[in-house]
Amino acid sequence: MNRALVVVAIGIAAAAPALATKPQPTAAPQTKPEAIWRATCGYCHGSVPGAPELRGINLPEALIVTAARNGAPGMPAFHASEISDADLRALARWIARQPAPVKAAP
Ligand code: HEC
């Protein structure tokens, strides 16, 4: 066998395990506030009569958190098992800072 080929083969064998280990993410993946909004709030708010648009009206973040945890008439409560505290804080922050959505032309 060609000496150079043997060296290359050993090199590949040695590198294989290193290539197989993928880098681990350093932090737990976080759901994007906008994705939570679309999946969990936006199908009512701004879409259904009686559920007011929450974006662009300067709602205090604390009110959004309280409303989400306790619910309201016509609105379910969202528990920590559904939206974590961290995700809810991020969502409230996101909602409070959103501009009013552009309304579709009539
Ligand atoms: C099933 C429909 C529905 C869903 C889903 C829903 N809401 Fe509501 N929400 C309502 C309705 C209806 C009201 C108005 C209650 C009232 O008039 O007293 C409301 C009220 C609110 C209010 C109070 C608004 C104000 O001006 O005082 C906040 C804040 C709010 N919702 C946040 C959220 C958030 C955050 C989510 C997602 C995690 C969400 N809601 C999901 C129906 C919904």
Residues 6+ apart with CB under 8 A from 99: 55, 56
Specify the 3-state DSSP secondary structure of 85.
helix
User: How do the domains of the chain map onto residue ranges?
Assistant: 33-97
Take residue 32 and report the two structure tokens written for it.
């994007």
> Does pTM surpass 0.95?
no
Question: Per-residue pLDDT for 40 more than 70?
Answer: yes
Q: Which amino acid is at 87?
A: D
For residues 49 and 47, give the distance between their C-alpha atoms in angstroms, rounded to a whole number. Answer: 7
**Cα Rg for the chain, rounded, in angstroms?**
25
Rounded mean pLDDT, 65-89: 97
Q: According to the model, what pLDDT value does residue 103 have?
A: 74
Q: Closest ligand 1 atom, CA of 43?
A: 5
The CATH architecture of the domain made up of 33-97 is: Orthogonal Bundle (1.10)
Specify the 3-state DSSP secondary structure of 7.
helix
Rounded mean pLDDT, 64-84: 97
Backbone angles phi, psi at 82, to 5 degrees: -95, -45
CA of 64 to the centre of ligand 1 (A): 8
Rounded mean pLDDT, 21-38: 72
| Ligand 1 contact, 88 CB (< 6 A) | no
